[in-house]
Amino acid sequence: MAIKIDMLRCFTMVATHGSLSEAAEALGRTPSAVSMMLKQFEDHVGSALFETARKSRLTPIGELILNEARREVAHFENTVSVIEGLARSELGFLRLAVTPSVATTVLPSVIYKFAQRYPKVQIDLRDMDSATIADELDRERADIGIGSLPVVEGMRRTELFSDAFGLVCRKDHPLAETWDQLTWRSLGDQTIIANGLCAQISDPDFAPILARSRLMVPNTASLLGLVRQGVGITVLPQLVVANLMDEFAFLPLADVAARRTVHLMSRPNHMLMPAAKEFLKLIMDMKRDGSLLPHL
């Protein structure tokens, strides 16, 4: 007969309490059941573990086995705790791949709430462009992706929000004074810094403006650094600068029809770890109650 964890648990309880009846009460079993389990363990070991029938004193071999038994019982109970924690999403690992604007404006409130509910879940948050997000999901290096993502076979995609494109410049830029009259054609000879999101703008009047741009900066932080320095202006969705309005101006254009659509993407629910399922539920709940996005 193989040694079972119940044998070790009974043995350690009897050794701890020095009494079959007290050990049985702690285990929620009858004294006869504990005695039988202990007898099976001693038969397997081939030696008595207690010096007397009263179980108040261990034999030398019993002393040695007790240390190992306690270690094994503690390990087993910790393993059970981890498994149950994963099932309840109290423990685990959550990998998020998101665009920079989502990372800085949308996710902070979501992660704050999630971390309060599940403080033991480890979160890996990486910001990257939408094409890289799709690749990370495909390679199973991310559990959830948020960005301007295409339909991908085998993935679940849900629209989170959309926001309008507009000009982004320094607050002291001359264009900020006449923003309510701006159109694509009124940009004249302004220096336009292109970025990866410009490809989503299909307005015919924007095409020649993009074509004459001599600066292409995919990284949002670098892009805004150049705008901050006065190198030029750029075109971005409103959410990108929602938290930066103290130094940048977001200027809607009268003839802009383009909007950026941001999607949430993951594998089907049954393929996700519990922590990822709970994160998806939280973010969709926040979308429904209107607390997901900052005021635009």
> pTM for this structure?
0.69
What's the number of CA atoms in the CB half-sphere (13 Å) around residue 212?
Answer: 11
Q: Say if residue 295 is exposed, middle or buried (CB neighbours under 10 Å; 0-12, 13-18, 19+).
A: exposed
The answer to whether 171 and 233 are in contact (CB under 8 A) is no
Strands 144-147 and 233-237 come out as unpaired
User: Would you write out the chain's pLDDT as a tens digit for each of its 296 residues?
Assistant: 678 899 999 999 999 999 889 988 999 999 999 999 999 998 988 989 998 877 888 999 999 999 999 999 988 887 887 777 777 767 788 999 999 889 988 999 999 999 999 998 999 999 998 989 999 998 888 999 999 999 988 899 999 999 989 999 999 998 888 777 788 887 778 899 999 888 888 888 888 888 989 999 988 889 999 999 999 999 999 999 988 988 999 998 876 777 899 999 999 988 888 899 999 999 999 999 999 986 65
DSSP for residue 222: H
Rounded Cα–Cα distance for residues 110 and 130 (Å): 20
